Amino acid sequence: MVTDFAARSWAKLPYDAAVRDWAASAWQAGQIAKDAPEHALWWDCENTWFIGVDALPNDAAGAIGAGPALTGAPVESILALYGEVLPLHPGQLSITYPGYPRPRMGESEAGFRYRIKRDAAHLDGLQKGEDGGRYIAEPHAWILGLPLTENVDTEAPLVIWEGSHEIMRTALLDALAAHPQDRWHAVDLQAPYQAARKQVFETCARVKVIAQPGEAILMHRLSVHGVSAWESEPEDLPSRECRAIAYFRPILPGGAVAWLANT
């Protein structure tokens, strides 16, 4: 089920009834979490996006309260690729609504144009420092997306640039080659990151990934991805008020060196 993962940098895993049961439990909790006062800071883009970092109250096995743990195809695929499934953090609950994208709070005009033109494409794990540079801050092991609602290609789907992980790996390793490995986390990667991202846009296929509850999306940790616009009109889809996906991105032991390893 993940035989072409190394070339494409992602795979859509087949429907699994156990995953569907997990998604139903997660969405019940998610609808409570998105309206919780302590999560109000995660509403952005003029309330068309709930970012929802760590908003799901799951345990390390993915279970929420008396609900099921995360099992089935995602766990089997991760084991096949990486040999182990790391403990899960509280899941991100990414929810988009009709009208997305609108400008983020504090977002520049150039930033908003990029959000529209390039789906706010980014590489997870790099974060902006106080000096404006980009640094390896969260070396994830992998990225797992689990749809909680119906997904269609006109309602802010996930977008992935196929094969982008190898371009990013090569560019970042080249930029870090002159630095001691124990200092990689302190190297500003803004310029090589932007240059590599430009190469990705010019050479990699942009793919809208459509998956439904019970399916899962496994992404390479170095893949460039983003969120497309919500294009459908609300009156065209009275039964779907939002698009929700839960994401898990556990931190990889070994830090920046392991993050850029050929796995």
pTM of the model: 0.95
> What angle, 0 to 180 degrees and rounded to 10, lies between the N-to-C axes of helices 190-203 and 164-176?
150
What per-residue confidence (pLDDT) applies to 234? 59
> In Å, how far are 16, 54, 168, 175, 256 from 33, measured between CA atoms?
25, 10, 34, 40, 32
Q: What's the whole-number mean pLDDT along residues 169-180?
A: 98
Task: Give me the CATH topology for the region 5-259.
Answer: Jelly Rolls (2.60.120)
Are 204 and 162 in contact, with CB atoms under 8 Å apart? yes
* Residue-wise burial string across 144-166, b where 16 or more C-beta atoms lie within 10 A, e elsewhere: bbbbbbebeeebbbbbbbbbbbb
pLDDT tens for 46-96 read 999 999 999 999 999 999 999 999 999 999 999 999 999 999 999 999 999
Residue 10 bridge partners (DSSP): 219
- Domain ranges, ordered by start, for the chain: 5-259
- The helices-and-strands tally (H runs, E runs) of the chain is 7, 12
- Beta bridge pairs of residue 247: 92, 145
Reported as a pLDDT band with limits 50, 70 and 90, residue 236 is low
Q: Tell me, what's the pLDDT at 1?
A: 55
> For residues 145 and 245, is the Cβ–Cβ distance under 8 A?
yes
Query: Which residue's structure tokens are 């991100």?
Result: 92
Tell me the one-letter amino acid at 42. Answer: W
